[in-house]
Amino acid sequence: MASRATSRPATRRGAFTLIELLVVIAILAILIGILIPSLGSARQTSRSLLCLSNLRQLSLGWSMYADDSRDVMVPGRAPNLPGGAGNPENVYDIGNGQKFRPTWIARIGGYVGVYAFTDPSPEDGRQDFDNPVYVCPVTPEWRDERNGSYGYNFQFLGNSRVTADRYHNFPVPRSLIQDFSQTVMAADCLGTAAGYAAVERFAYDNDGREECAVGNEGFNLDPPRLTDRSDKTSTHRSAVDPRHMRRTNVVFLDTHARTIDPTELGYAAHGDGRFVDQTEGSLIPNNRYFSGRVSDKDPPDLPTGG
């Protein structure tokens, strides 16, 4: 009699139990919790590197400007001569057109073919930058040429403001710089909001003039230490902006750029974020990296009459 093959019932694949699903979900949540900060940090690092690239690229025009200007360093902003836009001496070529009283950054950018504006205005001193190289990627809305992302070491390198019919510190020959690698050219700038506690600061206003607003007069960067006799950006001082994971990007006169803690540059601030002008207790600002002399020099005194 032929033997009959025995058949086994097909193995049934069991579904996940509720506990197994919860374990999987918990593992995914942990992985996401680990990955999200890493992705955020990578994004911040990428923005910081792009910002450094912007500063390096623009800084190449600084020496070219001095070469073309009989060794005179570019001032923070072109002098404000009588007559406003009606005075042709207030209008300057910035590489792709004529501009009314351009700031330092537009003037040096033109030398490397990185133009600040698509259509420079010979009458307007408050244009928005069209070129993204002029704007820090962490603060993409800071596009106004006055309230910009990057501030210049204007007090030591070229301050063409006028008091008592005299320039504050202009013209300044490049030959005065003793060490280009240890002299700040420009950096991320907080503007005059640096003189306020963090909780007192207003949001950025592209066309505004509020001193407590971040970015106000951001094209000017005051050195760490001021005196009672020195100039400052406005009623309140400006300072670097630690916008890159509590550090700031800075470019030096030899065109090398790096990310650095503000205290390493000589700045001192209270715990509330307000930067000091002068020594206050244990807060001791120092101008070593701004003076051009690798020493803690006072900023130039304001001119006096007589």
Q: Pick from 250, 268, 240: which is nearest to 181 by CA?
A: 250
Contact 144, 216 (CB under 8 A): no
pLDDT, residue 161, reads 96
pLDDT, residue 22, reads 76
The DSSP-derived string for 102-126 is -BHHHHHHHHTT--S-SS--SS-S-
Cis check: omega of the bond before 299, within 30 degrees of 0: no
Contact 92, 125 (CB under 8 A): no
Contact 162, 168 (CB under 8 A): yes
pLDDT, residue 44, reads 81
Task: Give the side-chain half-sphere CA count within 13 A for 196.
Answer: 19
Q: How far is CA 142 from CA 1, 208, 219, in A?
A: 94, 11, 11
pLDDT, residue 28, reads 80
pLDDT, residue 30, reads 79
Distance between the two ends of the chain, CA-based, in angstroms?
133
Local structure of 305: helix, strand or coil: coil
Domain ranges of the chain: 20-265
Contacts of 175 (CB under 8 A, 6+ apart): 71
What's the pTM value of the predicted model, to 2 decimals?
0.87
Q: Are strands 98-100 and 150-152 parallel, antiparallel or unpaired?
A: unpaired
Q: Pick from 74, 80, 84, 214: which is nearest to 154 by CA?
A: 74
pLDDT, residue 107, reads 98
Pick out the chain residues at pLDDT < 50: 1-2
pLDDT, residue 306, reads 58
